[in-house]
């Protein structure tokens, strides 16, 4: 089972919840929804999601107050606030209570997905940068200075090209990178060899990192998009 990014929705509008759940699930996220603040906070403490989509007005609590309580438990989790309020003072209040971004209703799924991707990318990159020259994602560690990779407590021997490929994937954890993008970043823009070399090196990485290379969960193929490194499911 892949380690999907977990998104928690806290919104009492059934239509919005159904629309978000359907579209986010289609885009590969693990989605759970709650329709009030109390259940949202309880679910958050239990499930520890990677990102929260939070409505401003709920039956029992206000979104900014929930946001502040979530922020006390998890200072770094990205929170996207949804609201019908567009006044600058309201936006400032939501952000001051801990929201990372603000989306005014009605909104398009294209814009929401773009904002989520930006939040996830920024947050996971921040987590990855634990020290200069080191990228650590759960049990997966890449030490650039020592040219060393450790996964689940064991050293993993990689070729220079495999090492560079893994580094690029770890720097973009949770994001699908196209074959062309990987070629440019790993092999260079002047590479004129076979593009299939990316698939070959991905296969080699899977053989060294996956519990079952035939059923990859860490390094996934994303249909029509490329390859994505997931957060290790420790």
Does the fold of domain 130-229 match that of domain 6-127?
no
Domain 6-127 grouped into CATH 3.40.50.2300: yes
Per-residue pLDDT tens, the chain, 234 aa: give them.
345 788 999 999 999 999 999 999 999 899 999 999 999 999 888 887 889 999 999 999 999 999 999 888 777 789 999 988 888 888 888 888 889 998 999 999 999 999 998 888 777 666 655 556 788 888 999 998 889 999 999 999 999 999 999 999 998 888 788 898 899 889 987 777 788 899 999 999 999 999 999 999 999 998 877 899 988 876
3-state secondary structure of 172: coil
Strand partners, 135: 142
Cβ atoms < 10 Å from Cβ of 128: 18
Domain 130-229 grouped into CATH 1.10.10.10: yes
Predicted pLDDT at 1 = 33
Cβ atoms < 10 Å from Cβ of 185: 17
DSSP structure string for 97-127: TT-SEEEESS--HHHHHHHHHHHHHHHHHHH
CA distance 213 to 211: 6
Q: In the chain, what are the domain boundaries?
A: 6-127, 130-229
Q: What angle do CA 72, 74, 76 make, to 5 degrees?
A: 120
């Amino acid at each position: 089972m892949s380690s999907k990014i977990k998104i928690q929705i806290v919104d009492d509008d059934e239509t919005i919840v159904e629309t978000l759940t359907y579209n986010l699930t289609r885009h590969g996220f693990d989605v759970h929804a709650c329709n009030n603040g109390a259940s949202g906070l309880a679910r958050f403490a239990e499930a520890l999601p990677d990102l929260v989509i939070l409505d401003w007005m709920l039956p029992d609590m206000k979104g900014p107050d929930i946001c502040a309580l979530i922020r006390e438990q998890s200072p770094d989790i990205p929170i996207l606030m949804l609201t019908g309020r567009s006044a600058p003072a309201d936006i400032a209040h939501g952000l001051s209570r801990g929201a990372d971004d603000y989306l005014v209703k009605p909104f398009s799924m294209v814009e929401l997905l773009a904002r989520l991707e930006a939040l996830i990318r920024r947050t996971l990159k921040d987590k990855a940068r634990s020290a200069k020259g080191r990228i650590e994602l759960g049990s997966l560690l890449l030490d650039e200075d020592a040219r060393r990779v450790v996964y689940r407590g064991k050293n993993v021997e990689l070729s220079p090209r495999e090492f560079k490929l893994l580094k690029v994937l770890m720097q973009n954890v949770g994001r699908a990178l196209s074959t062309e993008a990987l070629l440019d970043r790993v092999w260079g823009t002047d590479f004129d060899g076979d593009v299939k070399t990316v698939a070959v090196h991905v296969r080699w990485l899977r053989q060294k990192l996956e519990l079952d290379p035939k059923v990859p969960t860490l390094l996934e193929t994303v249909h029509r998009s490329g390859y994505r490194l997931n957060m290790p499911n420790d």
